[in-house]
Amino acid sequence: MCEPETPELAEAAAEGGADLIELGFPFSDPLADGPVIRCAAERALSRGMRTRECLECLAETRARLPHPIVPMTYSSLLEAYGWERFAEDAQSAGATSLIVADLPVEGRPDLRRVHMVAPTTPTERIRLAAERTDGWLYLVSVIGTTGARGVSDQLPDLVERARSVTRMPLYAGFGISTPEQAAAAAAMADGIVVGTAAVEVAARSGASGLRDYVASLRDVL
Protein backbone atom coordinates (compact mmCIF):
# COMPACT_ATOMS: atom_id res chain seq x y z
CA MET A 1 0.00 0.00 0.00
CA CYS A 2 1.09 3.59 -0.60
CA GLU A 3 2.34 4.56 2.83
CA PRO A 4 5.38 6.71 3.74
CA GLU A 5 7.73 3.70 3.64
CA THR A 6 6.47 2.59 0.22
CA PRO A 7 9.18 4.26 -1.91
CA GLU A 8 11.88 2.56 0.16
CA LEU A 9 10.13 -0.80 -0.17
CA ALA A 10 9.68 -0.34 -3.92
CA GLU A 11 13.37 0.46 -4.23
CA ALA A 12 14.25 -2.67 -2.25
CA ALA A 13 12.03 -4.82 -4.51
CA ALA A 14 13.76 -3.39 -7.56
CA GLU A 15 17.16 -4.10 -6.04
CA GLY A 16 16.01 -7.68 -5.50
CA GLY A 17 15.25 -8.03 -9.18
CA ALA A 18 11.65 -6.91 -9.70
CA ASP A 19 11.08 -5.64 -13.25
CA LEU A 20 7.84 -3.81 -12.46
CA ILE A 21 6.34 -2.27 -9.32
CA GLU A 22 2.61 -2.48 -8.60
CA LEU A 23 1.41 0.12 -6.09
CA GLY A 24 -1.87 -0.51 -4.34
CA PHE A 25 -4.00 2.59 -3.87
CA PRO A 26 -6.11 1.71 -0.80
CA PHE A 27 -9.86 1.42 -1.11
CA SER A 28 -12.38 0.72 1.65
CA ASP A 29 -14.04 -2.24 -0.12
CA PRO A 30 -11.35 -4.07 -2.12
CA LEU A 31 -13.43 -6.91 -3.53
CA ALA A 32 -10.56 -8.66 -5.32
CA ASP A 33 -8.25 -8.70 -2.33
CA GLY A 34 -7.81 -11.21 0.45
CA PRO A 35 -7.24 -10.55 4.18
CA VAL A 36 -3.60 -9.46 3.95
CA ILE A 37 -4.16 -6.79 1.32
CA ARG A 38 -7.41 -5.72 2.99
CA CYS A 39 -5.58 -5.17 6.27
CA ALA A 40 -2.88 -3.21 4.48
CA ALA A 41 -5.56 -1.03 2.87
CA GLU A 42 -7.26 -0.44 6.21
CA ARG A 43 -3.94 0.45 7.81
CA ALA A 44 -3.12 2.91 5.04
CA LEU A 45 -6.55 4.55 5.21
CA SER A 46 -6.31 4.86 9.01
CA ARG A 47 -3.03 6.73 8.54
CA GLY A 48 -4.68 9.24 6.25
CA MET A 49 -3.63 7.86 2.87
CA ARG A 50 -6.09 9.18 0.32
CA THR A 51 -5.85 9.52 -3.45
CA ARG A 52 -3.83 12.74 -3.40
CA GLU A 53 -1.39 11.32 -0.84
CA CYS A 54 -1.06 8.15 -2.88
CA LEU A 55 -0.24 10.16 -5.99
CA GLU A 56 2.44 11.99 -4.02
CA CYS A 57 3.77 8.61 -2.89
CA LEU A 58 3.80 7.49 -6.52
CA ALA A 59 5.77 10.57 -7.52
CA GLU A 60 8.33 9.95 -4.78
CA THR A 61 8.67 6.34 -5.87
CA ARG A 62 9.12 7.41 -9.48
CA ALA A 63 11.90 9.80 -8.42
CA ARG A 64 13.83 6.81 -7.06
CA LEU A 65 13.18 4.24 -9.79
CA PRO A 66 13.25 3.99 -13.60
CA HIS A 67 11.12 0.82 -13.48
CA PRO A 68 7.54 0.65 -14.75
CA ILE A 69 5.18 1.59 -11.90
CA VAL A 70 1.54 0.51 -12.10
CA PRO A 71 -1.06 1.72 -9.55
CA MET A 72 -3.75 -0.85 -8.77
CA THR A 73 -7.12 0.23 -7.40
CA TYR A 74 -10.90 0.18 -7.91
CA SER A 75 -13.30 2.12 -10.09
CA SER A 76 -15.09 3.89 -7.21
CA LEU A 77 -11.86 5.69 -6.33
CA LEU A 78 -11.51 6.96 -9.89
CA GLU A 79 -15.19 7.90 -10.03
CA ALA A 80 -14.83 9.98 -6.87
CA TYR A 81 -11.58 11.62 -7.95
CA GLY A 82 -12.58 12.08 -11.60
CA TRP A 83 -11.62 9.62 -14.35
CA GLU A 84 -9.78 12.03 -16.62
CA ARG A 85 -8.25 13.90 -13.70
CA PHE A 86 -6.92 10.69 -12.18
CA ALA A 87 -5.46 9.47 -15.47
CA GLU A 88 -3.70 12.80 -16.01
CA ASP A 89 -2.45 13.12 -12.43
CA ALA A 90 -1.25 9.52 -12.26
CA GLN A 91 0.66 9.92 -15.50
CA SER A 92 2.18 13.19 -14.29
CA ALA A 93 3.24 11.47 -11.06
CA GLY A 94 5.04 8.76 -13.02
CA ALA A 95 2.59 5.89 -13.51
CA THR A 96 3.42 3.69 -16.47
CA SER A 97 -0.07 2.25 -16.66
CA LEU A 98 -2.96 1.37 -14.33
CA ILE A 99 -4.92 -1.64 -13.06
CA VAL A 100 -8.59 -1.17 -12.12
CA ALA A 101 -9.59 -4.52 -10.67
CA ASP A 102 -13.36 -4.18 -10.95
CA LEU A 103 -13.65 -2.36 -14.28
CA PRO A 104 -14.73 -4.66 -17.16
CA VAL A 105 -13.00 -4.42 -20.49
CA GLU A 106 -15.95 -2.53 -22.03
CA GLY A 107 -15.93 0.09 -19.28
CA ARG A 108 -14.12 3.37 -19.95
CA PRO A 109 -12.37 2.12 -23.13
CA ASP A 110 -10.49 5.43 -23.29
CA LEU A 111 -8.69 4.70 -20.01
CA ARG A 112 -5.23 3.27 -20.61
CA ARG A 113 -4.85 0.25 -18.35
CA VAL A 114 -3.73 -3.36 -17.96
CA HIS A 115 -6.61 -5.81 -18.28
CA MET A 116 -7.16 -8.87 -16.11
CA VAL A 117 -8.58 -12.21 -17.23
CA ALA A 118 -9.44 -15.26 -15.12
CA PRO A 119 -9.99 -19.00 -15.63
CA THR A 120 -13.71 -18.28 -16.01
CA THR A 121 -13.17 -15.69 -18.77
CA PRO A 122 -14.43 -16.93 -22.17
CA THR A 123 -11.76 -17.09 -24.86
CA GLU A 124 -13.38 -14.35 -26.96
CA ARG A 125 -13.31 -11.99 -23.98
CA ILE A 126 -9.65 -12.86 -23.46
CA ARG A 127 -9.10 -11.80 -27.07
CA LEU A 128 -10.92 -8.52 -26.47
CA ALA A 129 -8.98 -7.86 -23.26
CA ALA A 130 -5.70 -8.57 -25.04
CA GLU A 131 -6.59 -6.19 -27.86
CA ARG A 132 -7.24 -3.39 -25.37
CA THR A 133 -4.68 -4.09 -22.65
CA ASP A 134 -1.73 -1.80 -22.05
CA GLY A 135 1.53 -3.63 -22.56
CA TRP A 136 0.72 -6.99 -20.98
CA LEU A 137 -2.19 -9.18 -19.95
CA TYR A 138 -2.72 -10.01 -16.27
CA LEU A 139 -3.71 -13.65 -15.80
CA VAL A 140 -5.65 -14.14 -12.55
CA SER A 141 -4.58 -17.72 -12.01
CA VAL A 142 -7.20 -18.68 -9.41
CA ILE A 143 -10.87 -18.00 -8.83
CA GLY A 144 -11.32 -15.82 -5.78
CA THR A 145 -9.40 -13.10 -4.01
CA THR A 146 -5.68 -12.49 -3.67
CA GLY A 147 -3.72 -14.58 -1.21
CA ALA A 148 -0.93 -17.15 -1.00
CA ARG A 149 -2.48 -20.42 -2.20
CA GLY A 150 -0.13 -21.87 -4.77
CA VAL A 151 -0.32 -22.31 -8.53
CA SER A 152 -3.79 -23.30 -9.65
CA ASP A 153 -4.32 -26.30 -11.91
CA GLN A 154 -6.49 -23.92 -13.96
CA LEU A 155 -3.50 -21.82 -15.03
CA PRO A 156 -2.29 -24.09 -17.89
CA ASP A 157 -5.65 -23.87 -19.65
CA LEU A 158 -5.84 -20.11 -19.14
CA VAL A 159 -2.34 -19.65 -20.58
CA GLU A 160 -3.13 -21.92 -23.53
CA ARG A 161 -6.32 -20.05 -24.38
CA ALA A 162 -4.63 -16.67 -24.01
CA ARG A 163 -1.74 -17.70 -26.25
CA SER A 164 -4.23 -18.87 -28.87
CA VAL A 165 -5.57 -15.33 -29.29
CA THR A 166 -2.66 -12.98 -28.56
CA ARG A 167 1.10 -12.50 -28.59
CA MET A 168 0.86 -10.01 -25.76
CA PRO A 169 3.12 -10.87 -22.76
CA LEU A 170 1.23 -12.88 -20.12
CA TYR A 171 1.91 -12.28 -16.42
CA ALA A 172 0.35 -14.70 -13.92
CA GLY A 173 -0.68 -13.53 -10.46
CA PHE A 174 -2.89 -14.35 -7.46
CA GLY A 175 -1.77 -17.21 -5.20
CA ILE A 176 1.97 -17.25 -5.97
CA SER A 177 4.24 -16.93 -2.94
CA THR A 178 7.20 -19.34 -2.92
CA PRO A 179 10.14 -19.69 -5.33
CA GLU A 180 8.83 -23.13 -6.33
CA GLN A 181 5.42 -21.68 -7.19
CA ALA A 182 7.05 -18.80 -9.04
CA ALA A 183 9.10 -21.21 -11.14
CA ALA A 184 6.05 -23.33 -11.94
CA ALA A 185 3.99 -20.31 -13.04
CA ALA A 186 6.85 -18.75 -15.00
CA ALA A 187 7.33 -22.02 -16.92
CA MET A 188 3.90 -21.39 -18.43
CA ALA A 189 3.54 -17.59 -18.51
CA ASP A 190 6.00 -14.84 -19.43
CA GLY A 191 6.25 -13.49 -15.91
CA ILE A 192 4.68 -13.50 -12.47
CA VAL A 193 3.01 -11.00 -10.15
CA VAL A 194 3.42 -11.42 -6.38
CA GLY A 195 1.43 -9.23 -4.02
CA THR A 196 0.21 -10.78 -0.78
CA ALA A 197 3.44 -12.59 0.09
CA ALA A 198 5.48 -9.47 -0.65
CA VAL A 199 3.25 -7.37 1.63
CA GLU A 200 3.62 -9.96 4.40
CA VAL A 201 7.40 -10.05 4.07
CA ALA A 202 7.63 -6.25 4.02
CA ALA A 203 5.47 -5.98 7.16
CA ARG A 204 7.52 -8.62 8.95
CA SER A 205 11.07 -7.93 7.76
CA GLY A 206 11.14 -4.46 6.21
CA ALA A 207 13.03 -3.38 3.11
CA SER A 208 15.98 -5.75 3.53
CA GLY A 209 13.67 -8.73 3.94
CA LEU A 210 11.67 -7.74 0.89
CA ARG A 211 14.84 -7.36 -1.16
CA ASP A 212 15.98 -10.87 -0.21
CA TYR A 213 12.53 -12.33 -0.83
CA VAL A 214 12.29 -10.85 -4.33
CA ALA A 215 15.82 -12.05 -5.06
CA SER A 216 14.79 -15.60 -4.07
CA LEU A 217 11.99 -15.44 -6.61
CA ARG A 218 14.17 -13.91 -9.28
CA ASP A 219 16.75 -16.68 -8.89
CA VAL A 220 14.30 -19.30 -10.15
CA LEU A 221 12.94 -17.37 -13.13
For residue 22, indicate whether it is catalytic. yes
> What's the pLDDT band for 175 if we cut at 50, 70, 90?
confident
**Is residue 147 predicted with pLDDT exceeding 60?**
no
Q: What is the pLDDT of residue 152?
A: 73
Comparison of pLDDT for 145 and 207, the residue scoring more = 207
- pTM for this prediction: 0.91
Mean pLDDT value of segment 193-210: 95
Alpha helices in the chain (DSSP H): 6-16, 35-46, 51-64, 75-81, 83-93, 123-132, 155-163, 179-186, 196-218
The whole-number pLDDT of residue 37 equals 86
Given the residues 22, 56, 106, 110, the one annotated as active site: 22
Instruction: Choose, from 3, 33, 60, 200, the residue flagged as catalytic.
Output: 33
Question: What structural domains and CATH numbers belong to the chain?
Answer: 6-104+111-218 (3.20.20.70)
Mean pLDDT, residues 96-125: 96
